[in-house]
Structure 1
Amino acid sequence: AQEVKGIGFRTADQIAMSLGLERNHDERLTAGVDFALLQISQAGHCCVPEDILVKEAAKLLLVEPGEIALHVSALIAGNSLCVEDFHGMTLIYPRHLYYAEKRVAERLLLLKDRAKQAPNEDYDGIVAKWESRSGITLAEAQHEAVLSSLMHGVLVLTGGPGTGKTTVVRGMLAVLEAQGFKILLGAPTGRAAKRLSEATEREAITVHRLLESTGGTEGAPLFMRNEDHPLEADVVIIDEVSMMDISLMNSFLLAIPDGCRVILVGDVDQLPAVGPGSVLKDIIRSATVPVVRLTEVFRQAGESMIVINAHQINRGMLPDFSSSIDFQFAEINDSDAVAQAIVSLCCDQLPKEGFNVSYDVQVLAPMHRLVCGVENLNKLLQEALNPDADGKTAIVGANQILREGDKIMQMKNNYTKGVYNGDIGFITGIDHGRVAVRYPEQDVIYERGEVEELHLAYAMSVHKSQGSEYPVVIMPLISGHYMMLQRNLLYTAVTRAKQRVILLGSKAALNTALSNDRTKRRYSLLAERLVGEEL
């Protein structure tokens, strides 16, 4: 049912039932199980215990769980689904995620021992020479990381803000280039790639561009670069790896030639990828590839309250709001008042201070619903920043009106147009249902049926902000969002800001976020596969 463009499973199911399809028809049961698995993977899981899948599908289809269990067994027997038995738990996988997870483990274990040897094996001397030439003295962990880049086929570098990941990556580039290695740089999003490029003064592109995307669909992208046509490189460095899901990591590793080094850089304490898997966390947890974790915050970064408070938050401690303008908390206990205060900041206070609200300021909300959720804040901010006016064209979408001049976000990967989930642009024109959008790299025209891929972006979810930086971040903290008030969500939000963080809401909501470090474990066996557990 998901294959019918524009028709969800529930609508297709209603139509089929009204045409007389039996409730327990095999095709209906298969579609229902597939849809339940799709929802489970959209929640971040690669697999799911059989009993949970049966319960979810039975609820969806209004069919007895026993009947669903029999049908799931038949789908496994017919190779439509994959299964692993793990410590007495039966885990069900969609086929593509099962093979993606297996291949990621296989490729990492293969690549870590196959690195092309560096011509000069005086590794300490190479690093010392770079330090002397660049006038940089690396801290112990930083030195270990640069050294490790010369020694290992796969390396993970992780650390929070201000710990010097950028300095380390620059050092890695210098010593690896000095060995004559060809290096490619990438990141999961255009914004993260741009930041990497600015930090290293070298070209960095998205993983999709690196792999030469040629289209395909959301679940099955097509890439020119693969096992048969691998990347031409001796080293590939990817930043913001916490954002990579299992499918993208699989496509990436399949395109790495034997002997090529892979360096994965990211902050493991941030939110995991929107898609299935906790790839970076699982690789680190497996302890099967070398990992360098940077923990020391350096003096220059330590002068920023954003960096200091981000580390406080990560430890579950209350941020310091007393000493500077760059990290503020406005205690407002009424949700409507919080929403109005956000509008006032964007329309009045911040523009007076010289900030261009469209480009410099991003509102990040923990959830989509309620007064201080993404949906309502977007409506309020659109009305305040880009109101309806004579001669201004508009188009009505499902739950929103899009106007010429609006700040928007691409909500899913569109491989044909070369725009990806999370890309931000501005509407430059609307004509007969067609919408023109200006992105930093290109202008794109959307036909009437494609407009649903766009969403207002004055406010966005914290998840959608990953890999980006903004001069100013504004975040509501209200108790109504308690379901999503987690420490790693707050940490991810504040680490998006370069100059100022403004939190508005209740102290109770802030304390809930700080104390809640129970991040939901995602169902995946990547770490276990890397360790070589019997499955």
Structure 2
Amino acid sequence: MSTEPETTEDAEPGTPTGGAETEGTQGDAAGSGEVPEGGGTEGDAAGSGEVPAAEGAEGDAAASGEVSEAEAELRAQRAVRERIEQRKAEKKAPIEAGTKLSGKAADLLAAVRAVESGEKPVATVFQDPEPAPRRSAPEPVRRPQPVSAEAAAASTAPAPAAVQAVRQVLGEGGAPEVLAPQVAAALGEGADEQLRADPWQLLRVAGVRPEQADGFARALLGAECGPDDERRGRAVTVWLLEQAALAGHTALEMPALLAALAQRGVPDPDSAVQDAIAEGDALVFQDALEETGAAPAPAGEEDTEEDEERPVRVLAGLERYALAEESLADGLARLVNSVPKQDGSAEDWERVAAAAQGSTGELLRAVAAHGLVLHTGGEASLTEPAALLTAAHTLGLRAWAATHGPIGRTRFAALLGRQTAPGTPSTDAHSPVAHSPVTTVAGLLSGAEGPGRDADGALDLDLLVVLDAPQLDVETAALLTESLPDGARLVLAGDPGVLWSVGPGRVFADLLAARICPQVASRQPDPGPLGELVSGIGIGELNQVEAPGKEVVIVPVRDAGEAVHRTVQLVVDSVPRALGVPAEETRVITPGHGGAVGTRALNAALKERLNPGPGRFGGFDPGDRIVYSPVPGRALPGRVVKADAEGLHLSCEGEAVVVPKERVEQSVRHGWALTAHQAVGSRWPAVVVVLPGDAAQALSRPWVYTAFGRADRHLSVVHGVEQALARAVAEVPAKPRTTRLPVLLAPQISG
């Protein structure tokens, strides 16, 4: 590595480095509450996963009845969730559901800004068995049909009269009346009466904190309000479980939840949890723990007493994630225990596997014989899934790949096009995606991309390869497995060193640890100095690499002002002049949205140099680089094209998107500078990673691995954290997440 030599300009006078607002689990839309000690996620600051803070939700349907991709995706997910609930009800006694959050991400962001009157801090909330023999597949389950455009176009906005009634109650309690639409949507029919009867229901709106709900309750209830009110205890319990989900957990261990309730001033935490469970707002689980070193009981011996004394852990969680995790376990077990369709003879599979080399051949043989296969590796390893798809097409399989984001889709489609055999789906010179069997996960599930669905509502394919698998949360993974037809094959491929998913769960990591199916590790290392650097980070070593072509450059800085100045200088001048990489092909990655060197500050500085303008369209001008977030957890990079009466027109990886003007503030951000989670699944010719002095606590090995790994040709590191970078790489692994997937899988796979 070398120091950046291209410029000699003096740094601008440094400004005091304020506390950086590192990206939260759901960005600005997430609640900013604290969580039980010992909780957290693997991600950025304080262990929060990153999402574009400008996260929207369902867009409004166009007057013509057309449905946006975001709407179609959400409707499709809702339909599948309904079938999941029905399936669970058939297997056991019905679970009485409590009131659920409606969760329009854009409206939640508005709630955050309205309630807290400013930028909120990051959310700080809270063995290897051998594979069992496969068994015959269960009876096919008829899946839901895709949601029609007409049904999806139905409006879900609360009635104006209901909003007005809620607005009046909010005014009486001193809460911002702008929250009325969110409250009406979250509480449903009779929202105003519910709010009067239980003011702490205000916590159902994401972004509202317990102390704010307490003030609202005091204003409405007067002397009747107290910390021991059971309504408060129940609401805070649900709120803490939501915060835990934002931090990546699908459930919380009971001691952690009880401790967090005590920290929030709930006098009787046990009663609060029991009330939440009784009302159906939360579910409780008892999961058996594996005893290390215990000898197996003799065959046929009664072990009732031992079973009774077997250690268990008690957890609490929200029904939404419990159902998703159980459905995911069912779907994975169906794949593992089923015999895949014999598309192509064993001899044909062996022929194509023998023609491949190394781990590519291993992958082909594993997929030939198993319904579920895991594949691990870095960027260079993508040639192996590409070879698999090409071989599958030659054998007559309907094979598709799905990526996390559109940039990954374009890159993989181009790679696949270079390997495609004659007569199979391929790319063309002008649009590498147009004729390629590659989609995004969101587009596949919504029906906007991909093969479509068969008569039973299953995806019309024989093989699905999901790339960027570490980004799958439990809900998305459950939808994917539920959507696969019987006899289909699923390959989950990805780099286990990157940041985990934004949503709850750690699906890929759990499956790798469970060893319920074949795992193929690629033996293709990423090449060059960048590959050497990132590979070292993956094993906890920050190595100094030789970079004769300035592939890696270190730029020391002393303070926040200098960090911003040098970052802009690199993007606008140094990298284009020294390396020939234009500014439009360079991205900046920083640990958080707020603070003196967060995405907001950096984007403002970059816009001033690269595309100055008055921001006459909601703060944006034609040509601005942006990140569009139609739903939580999705970040679509793009560019502003124009604005008119319909809204803000964007081009996102070649796709035209129109964002209604009332949604622009909540769902569109400037996008020259990104967070690591916004960047995951994408790569650019040049990347500038900014590490200001106040970012030291935000750093972890997965964060550094992800950020540094986004560069194809050149990486500049604006370095102001001194030894904290090496310490984070060596000593700060992914923060644990509490999940139930391994426990749920064990009996289904072995049974």
TM bin, normalised by shorter chain, reads 0.7 to 0.9
For the residue of structure 2 that corresponds to 1:20, the secondary structure is helix
Question: Take 2:613 and 2:607, find their aligned partners in 1: how far apart are those partners?
Answer: 9
- Kindly indicate whether residue 631 of structure 2 is the aligned counterpart of residue 413 of structure 1: yes
Q: Please list, as runs of the form range in 1=range in 2, the aligned pairs for 1:186-205 lying within 5 A after superposition.
A: 186-201=402-417, 202-205=436-439
Is the CA contact 1:2–1:9 (under 8 Å) kept in the aligned structure 2? no
- Where structure 1 has 5 or more consecutive residues not aligned to the other structure, the ranges are 132-136, 215-223, 396-400, 415-419
* Counterpart position of 1:501: 715
**1:72-111 equivalent positions in 2, closer than 5 A:** 72-86=273-287, 87=289, 88-111=312-335
For 1:41-190, what aligned pairs fall within 5 Å after superposition?
41-60=245-264, 62-64=265-267, 66=268, 68-86=269-287, 87=289, 88-114=312-338, 115-122=340-347, 125-127=350-352, 131=355, 138-139=357-358, 141-162=359-380, 165-190=381-406
Provide Cα deviations, 1:37-92, integer angstroms capped at 9, x if missing partner.
111111111111223223434545x432x1x4212112223433222223443211
Matches within 5 A, 1:315-334: 315-324=539-548, 325-334=550-559
How many angstroms apart in 2 are the aligned matches of 1:455 and 1:247? 26
Q: Does 2:493 match 1:279?
A: no
On the 8 A contact 2:251/2:318 being kept in 1, the answer is yes
Higher alpha-carbon deviation: 40-49 or 175-184: 175-184
Distance 1:431 1:121, change over 3 A: closer
Does the aligned pair in 2 maintain the 1:317–1:514 contact within 8 Å? yes
The answer to whether the aligner puts 1:266 opposite 2:494 as a matched pair is: yes
Secondary structure of the residue that 2:623 maps to in structure 1? coil
Distance 1:525 1:346, change over 3 A: same
1:346 counterpart = 2:568: no
Query: 8 Å contact 2:238–2:281 — kept in the other structure?
Result: no
Instruction: State the partner residue of 1:240.
Output: 468
Amino acid at match of 2:286: D
Amino acid aligned to 1:203:
P
CA distance in structure 2 between the partners assigned to 1:183 and 1:394 by the alignment: 42
- Counterpart of 2:652, as a letter, is Y
Q: Flag the 1:384–1:268 CA change in 2: closer, same or farther, 3 A.
A: same
1:357 and 2:583 correspond? yes
Q: 1:375 to 1:348 in 2, by over 3 A?
A: same
**Alpha carbons 2:529, 2:551 under 8 Å: kept:** yes
Partner residue of 1:511?
726
Amino acid at match of 1:160: G
- Partner residue, 2:531: 307
Give the stretch that moved more between structures: 2-11 or 476-485: 2-11
Q: Give the corresponding residue for 2:203.
A: none
Q: Which residue number corresponds to residue 441 of structure 2?
A: 207
The answer on whether the counterparts of 2:249 and 2:737 sit within 8 Å (CA) in structure 1 is yes
> Do structure 1's residue 428 and structure 2's residue 669 form an aligned pair?
no
2:671 counterpart of 1:457: yes
Instruction: Report matched runs for 1:457-496 at 5 Å.
Output: 457-496=671-710
Matching residue of 2:616: 393
| Cα distance, 1:403–1:69 mapped onto 2, change above 3 Å | farther
Contact 2:648–2:664 (8 Å) recurs in 1: no
My pick for the range that moved more, 150-159 or 228-237, is 228-237
Which one-letter code corresponds to 1:362 in the other structure? R
User: Which structure features the higher share of strand residues?
Assistant: 1
Is there any run of 5+ residues in structure 2 with no aligned partner, and where? 1-99, 112-178, 180-206, 290-311, 418-435
Q: CA deviation at 1:333?
A: 3.5
Aligned residues: 496
CA distance in 2, matches of 1:121, 1:458: 50
State the TM-score, normalized to the length of structure 2: 0.62
Q: 1:149 to 1:285 in 2, by over 3 A?
A: same
Give the structure 2 partner of residue 221 of structure 1: none
Deviation at 1:404, TM superposition (A): 4.0
1:434 Cα deviation (Å)? 4.1
Counterpart CA distance in 2 for 1:423 and 1:238 is 18
Aligned to 1:442, the other structure's residue is in SS state: strand
Structure 1 111/313 Cα, relative in aligned 2: closer, same or farther at 3 Å? same
In percent, how many aligned pairs have the same letter? 23
Does 2:245 match 1:32? no
Q: Which is further off, 36-45 or 11-20?
A: 11-20
Which one-letter code corresponds to 1:112 in the other structure? V
Partner SS, residue 319 of structure 1: coil
1:520 aligns with 2:520: no
Distance verdict in 2 for CA 1:45–1:227, change over 3 Å: farther
Alpha-carbon distance, 1:14 to partner: 4.2
**Shift of the alpha carbon at 1:231?**
0.8
Whichever residue aligns with residue 176 of structure 1, its letter is A
Contact 2:532 2:545 in 1 (8 A): no
In structure 1, C-alpha distance between the alignment counterparts of 2:101 and 2:279, rounded to whole Å? 21
Q: Distance in 2 between matches of 1:39 and 1:128?
A: 47
Contact kept, 8 Å, 2:237 with 2:276, in 1: the verdict is no
Q: Relative to structure 1, is the Cα distance of residues 501 and 258 closer, same or farther in structure 2, using a 3 angstrom cutoff?
A: same
Question: In structure 2, what is the Cα distance between the partners aligned to 1:290 and 1:28?
Answer: 48
| Cα offset, 1:123, TM superposition | 5.6
Q: Distance in 2 between matches of 1:373 and 1:207?
A: 29
**Amino acid of the structure 1 residue aligned with 2:253:** P
